[in-house]
Amino acid sequence: MARRRFRKVYELQRVLGWPALYSTAYGNVGSSIYYALGVVAAFALGLSPVVFMMAGLLFALTSFSYAEATAAVPEAGGASSFARRSFNELASFGAGWALMLDYIITIAISAFFVPNYLAVFFPVLKEWPANSIGGAIVILFLVVMNSVGVKESSGMNILLAIMDLLTQLLLAIIGFFLLMSPETLVNNVHWGVAPTWNNLIYGISIAMVAYTGIETVSNLAEEAKTPHRDVPKSIMLVLVTVLAMYAAISVIALSVMPVHEVLAKKEAPPHEIVAVFGQDGQAVNEDGEVVSEEGYHRVWVTDLSEKWLEDPIMGIVKDPDRGIASHWPLLGRIMAGWVGILAATILLIATNAGILGISRLSYSMGHHKQLPPLFNKIHSRFHTPYTSIIFFGLVASVLILPGRIDFLADLYSFGAMISFTIAHVSVVALRFKEPYLGRPFKAPFNIQYGEVSIPITAIIGGLGTFTVWVIVVITHEWGRYVGFTWMILGFIMYYIYRRSQHLSLTETVKIEVAPEQFPDVEYNNILVPIVGSKISGEAMVMACQLAAEEKSSIQALVVIEVPMNMPLDALLPEEREQAEALLQEARDLAEEYAVPLYPKIVVGRVAGRTIVEEAINSKSQIVMIGTERTRRTGDRFFGHTVEYVLRKAPCKVLVVSGEKNQDLS
Phi, psi dihedral angles at 390 (to 5 degrees): -65, -45
Q: Within a domain: residue 144?
A: yes
Which pLDDT does position 71 carry in this prediction? 78
Q: Convert the pLDDT of each residue in 438-464 to its tens digit.
A: 787 788 889 988 888 999 999 999 999
252 and 266 fall within a common domain: no
Which pLDDT does position 664 carry in this prediction? 39
Residue 517 β-bridge partners: 8
Q: Within a domain: residue 611?
A: yes
153 versus 447: the higher-pLDDT residue is 447
Q: Within a domain: residue 438?
A: no
Q: Convert the pLDDT of each residue in 586-633 to its tens digit.
A: 888 888 888 888 888 888 777 888 888 888 887 788 888 877 655 444
Phi, psi dihedral angles at 75 (to 5 degrees): -125, 150
631 versus 470: the higher-pLDDT residue is 470
252 and 140 fall within a common domain: yes
392 and 408 fall within a common domain: yes
Of the given ranges (25-34, 252-261, 455-464), which has the lowest mean pLDDT? 25-34
Burial of 7: CB neighbours in 10 Å, binned 0-12, 13-18, 19+: middle
Mean pLDDT confidence for 375-382 = 70
Mean pLDDT confidence for 403-432 = 84
Domain with 595, as residue range(s), is 519-663
pLDDT category, 117, cuts 50, 70, 90? very high
231 and 279 fall within a common domain: no
pLDDT value at 522 more than 80: no
15 versus 137: the higher-pLDDT residue is 137
167 and 282 fall within a common domain: no
Q: For the domain that residue 132 is a member of, what is the CATH number?
A: 1.20.1740.10
Residue 260 β-bridge partners: 301
Domain termination site, one of 273, 302, 331: 302
Q: For the domain that residue 658 is a member of, what is the CATH number?
A: 3.40.50.620
pLDDT value at 146 more than 60: yes
pLDDT value at 85 more than 50: yes
- For 317, the 3-state DSSP assignment is helix
Which pLDDT does position 135 carry in this prediction? 92
Alpha helices in 220-328 (DSSP H): 227-256, 312-318, 324-327
Q: Convert the pLDDT of each residue in 542-600 to its tens digit.
A: 888 888 877 788 888 888 887 766 766 666 778 888 888 888 888 888 888 888 888 88
388 and 526 fall within a common domain: no
Of the given ranges (74-83, 280-289, 471-480), which has the lowest mean pLDDT? 280-289
Q: Within a domain: residue 473?
A: yes
Length of the chain: 665
469 and 492 fall within a common domain: yes
Which pLDDT does position 498 carry in this prediction? 92
Mean pLDDT confidence for 70-86 = 80
Question: How far is 126 from 513, CA to CA, in rounded Å?
Answer: 48
285 and 414 fall within a common domain: no
151 and 124 fall within a common domain: yes
Q: How far is CA 130 from CA 113, 245, 305, 345, 403, in A?
A: 11, 30, 21, 18, 9
Q: Within a domain: residue 205?
A: yes
- For 517, the 3-state DSSP assignment is strand
Burial 244-256 (b: 16+ CB within 10 A, else e): ebbbbbbbbbbbb
Q: Within a domain: residue 250?
A: yes
Domain termination site, one of 498, 531, 549: 498
607 and 630 fall within a common domain: yes
pLDDT value at 152 more than 60: no
pLDDT category, 488, cuts 50, 70, 90? very high
Q: Within a domain: residue 4?
A: no
Q: Sheet holding 297-302: strands in order across?
A: 283-284, 273-277, 259-264, 297-302
pLDDT value at 26 more than 50: yes
Mean pLDDT confidence for 5-28 = 56
Domain termination site, one of 272, 302, 332: 302
Which pLDDT does position 521 carry in this prediction? 47
pLDDT above 70: percentage of residues in the chain: 82
237 and 274 fall within a common domain: no
346 and 293 fall within a common domain: no
Q: Within a domain: residue 627?
A: yes
CA angle 496, 499, 502 (to 5 degrees): 155
**Domain count along the chain:** 3
The most confident of the ranges 296-305, 354-363, 387-396, 457-466 is 457-466
pLDDT value at 78 more than 70: yes
Mean pLDDT, the chain, rounded, equals 80
Cα dihedral sign, 150-153-154-155 = positive
DSSP 25-91: HHHHHGGGHHHHHHHHHHHHGGGHHHHHHHHHHHHHHHHHHHHHHHHHS--TTTHHHHHHHHS-HHH
Mean pLDDT confidence for 1-24 = 51
Of the given ranges (169-173, 219-223, 642-646), which has the lowest mean pLDDT? 219-223
Cα dihedral sign, 65-462-31-403 = positive
